[in-house]
Amino acid sequence: MQVYWSEGGELMCIATEDSFFVLKYDPEAVEKAKDNPESVSEDGVEDAFDVSAPDVRGPGCVCGCWGGGLSWMLSDLRDW
């Protein structure tokens, strides 16, 4: 698994061998949770991230980067 953050820190991509997910980070939700620690579960702040793109399935991700607010994932097409 690999994690790529956008240059501005508001988007991230989690890439696995067979899919990737683009998430939007909500720093305000994290700040609110600091004021209300009872709302933080064992898994963290539930509202800290929103899925901004559906799960995309395809060949394994071999590398990625961000440019102009877009994520670019490169795959090993031999596996597709």
Q: Which two tokens stand for residue 13?
A: 């991509």
Burial of 59 from C-beta contacts in 10 A (0-12 / 13-18 / 19+): middle
Look at 62 and 22; give whichever has higher pLDDT: 22
Q: Rounded CA gap, 19 and 15, in Å? A: 6
Q: Which domain holds residue 9?
A: 2-79
pTM here is: 0.64
Helix extents (H) in 13-68: 27-35
Identify the pLDDT of residue 76.
56
Give the mean model confidence (pLDDT) for residues 56-68.
60
Name the domain count of the chain: 1
Is residue 23 within 8 Å of 50, Cβ to Cβ? yes
pLDDT digits (tens, 9 = 90+) for 3-56: 888 888 888 888 777 777 788 899 999 999 989 888 899 989 988 998 876 555
Identify the pLDDT of residue 62.
58
